[in-house]
Amino acid sequence: MKMIISDFGDLGKRVTLIGRLDISGSGEIDTPLQELADSKVNIIVDMKEVDFIGSLGMRSLVLAAKTLSRNARTLVLLNPTPLVADALTNAGLNTLLPMVHSDSAAQELASKYSRPL
């Protein structure tokens, strides 16, 4: 699993994931994703290059989303593949982990949480 962190304008950070969010992939992103969530910035996770998500991958995203929620911030999933989107929806996580398919939709969601803490 490859993880690239970049700015998402002034609204937060973009985390681009490439690979499989299986047991191995989730182990690679857990710590850096949690550290980013602890920094109290919105996180936009670009998932267009993620071709599989397992339960541990879902757990990694949920933990980061819950940390952000406690800090009045959000985690948005950008461009999940149909397989990944279906897995998250079937797991009932589409409310906690909102999914969008454009940067403008992600900006709109993140802007709701861009107020100072």
Tell whether 55 is covered by a domain. Answer: yes
Task: Look at residue 88 and tell me if it is in a domain.
Answer: yes
CATH number for position 47: 3.30.750.24
Question: Would residue 89 count as lying in a domain?
Answer: yes
DSSP state of 94: T
Tell me whether residue 117 is in a domain: no
Residue by residue, DSSP assigns 25-81 as HHHHHHHHHHHHHHTT-EEEEEEEEEEEE-HHHHHHHHHHHHHHHHTT--EEEES--
Q: Which domain holds residue 87?
A: 2-111
Query: Total structural domains in the chain?
Result: 1
pLDDT digits (tens, 9 = 90+) for 87-100: 999 999 999 999 99
- The answer to the question of residue 20 being in a domain is yes
Q: Is residue 85 in a domain?
A: yes
* Residues composing the chain: 117
In a domain, 35, yes or no: yes
pLDDT, averaged across the chain: 95
Query: Is a pLDDT exceeding 70 seen at residue 59?
Result: yes
Residue 96 lies in a domain: yes
In this prediction the pTM is 0.94
